[in-house]
Amino acid sequence: GSDLAEFDNRSLDVLNQEILLRLQESGIAVLSSTRIGDRFALRASFTNHRTQDSDIRLIVQTILQIARDPNLL
């Protein structure tokens, strides 16, 4: 089963807000947030023409690393 099955929507919103904060504090990237329906979501906007695939991979890897932290919440 999915680990996410134990979270309700509100808990996932809080989790994503904490991931966003930690990502910003890491200095790796500054994402923004948005709402899709009533759900909190991370939002990435790439406007620098120098952005490379490796930059995006680093952001995703960092988000996953933060999400796997047993002390996240």
CA distances from 42 to 1, 5, 23 (A): 24, 20, 11
pLDDT at 8: 86
Q: How much is the pLDDT for 1?
A: 46
CB 24 within 8 A of CB 31: yes
Task: Give the number of other Cβ atoms within 10 Å of residue 54's Cβ.
Answer: 8
Pairing assessment for the beta strands 39-43 and 32-36 based on DSSP bridges: antiparallel
pLDDT at 54: 97
Q: What is the pLDDT along the chain (73 residues), one digit of tens a residue?
A: 456 556 788 999 999 999 999 999 999 999 999 999 999 999 999 999 999 999 999 999 999 999 999 999 8
Residue 53 main-chain phi, psi, to 5 deg: -55, -35
Residue type, 24: Q
What integer pLDDT is reported at residue 6 of this predicted model?
60
